[in-house]
Structure 1
């Protein structure tokens, strides 16, 4: 890329300087017309200043580290925070960032409640991530779910798509893969976390990386919710497990707790009268499903365990199809719910 084109790209980043800083320098915070952080590699601290608005003193996006004397522009920030070596990769990353919607700036940083920056993996970081996503319709996130045999997409607003979600392996440079993003919420609907499933570029499977799923934020007691659960709902470990049950019973609300341990700790709404626990087979899945069922019964909620034939309900869906899964579930749910949920799915 020619020097003048790189300069133009840096200027475009400068016009989005605060969004760039919030994304790549999340350990910092805004102080007046500057973003203040420890260094260009996003260390906590206060020695580096990024100019957020152009002034006679310099262009927006220019920065200087008062301690080390380093200085540069936002292309340097992208290079250093992601550990990129080739300038072509920096350009590609910058162009990708500029093509994404950027969340509005948060509350005035001079207010007491906004003084603490959002650490990586926090609920606030999960909200920033979700703000940069889009609905799954027409994306490879929906393609991925269809490859898993899932057919019911009503009530799936909690699922979103990110075209280039960062993945940091234990060793090696940061990568970017498309990802299915799920919003984790509490009983009041407030987002407390997010779950990422990195995908292959064509959506046919998960990405070929070591850790294909990862959650962030406050998960304990909360979950990914599909539909509005009032008196009757289902609960399960994984997103695909719950969506598989809903493919057979599309009007049955459900919540995915994201792990066996979190399933056992799931908080239950006070309006709930009956809970279907869609367990995974295996020692941990059986134990935590039983724990949740016992907690529900102790709270006066009728609990019914749903047991898959294979490892989990997504395995059953893949092996037996929607009709086969529906037939198996028909023998496990209560007669009044056959009439309420299954007839609508027939």
Structure 2
């Protein structure tokens, strides 16, 4: 018997941890938000520990496990998930876990997880596209939302790194981290737009994605919402950290964020329409249902950021709606996961073989 493992399962940690990040940052008060955020952060931490444990046991059973996933043209893209899971738990420690851990311990934990997740995320942003170029067989209709997974982690580094900037000494250390976070922002914006174009072309030319992979169209929202969030958090810090040009960086939060938020609304409507259409025809229960969580959560954080920057009720309403969508998506994904493990016991699930498709892995 072999233990099931795939980097895609770290999406459950991301999807759970983002709730702990969203709730404390809403632009309006919600009774009971902080205890609920703490509960989700504890759950995300437990999920992260469990997934890492299963990974280590899987490697013990088969030492080539990680390389096999890296060589798989579908699974390799999800190596971005572990990096984002680490940083999401770290961000939750600062936003929701301080009362339990203490401020200093929470910041230290966030810094360790940020550094680890950032290094892993930079690796995925380079190594996964390299593997796709040099080894993977990629057809015209291969693109899915999962292609964004390896290039989005640096944007999460930019967002969560902003919370660490004030804890560094003033001067070169603080300025360097801020500028590095802006570089991470630019890395993902450009790479993400390239991938988004490929996904758009695939959808227009070849139609909707296969039923089990269709939820990955929601991953686009993670790229859009996270970039809006990152540019705001960095822009709030910029005037005090780099006063010579900080005002321009601060203005970028609105100049970039509002147009991207407009496209986010468009893509949300498109993703929702495609999902409803597939639900009518039958949407298979699959790990890809976790795509309904983290990306929607970043729309909530991005809308909250724009509400703080502009003071407009429009963005407050959007943040509230996105948060409701996140909670609905989380319960749907949790239900799907319980169904998967109930229908397919843990000890009976085989490991993926070489270039085995995601569809085969999910059944």
TM-score normalised over the length of structure 1: 0.27
Over alpha carbons, which structure has the higher Rg? Answer: 1
Where relative contact order (Cα < 8 A, 6+ residues apart) is larger, the structure is 2
TM-score normalised over the length of structure 2: 0.26
Structure number with the higher helix fraction is 2
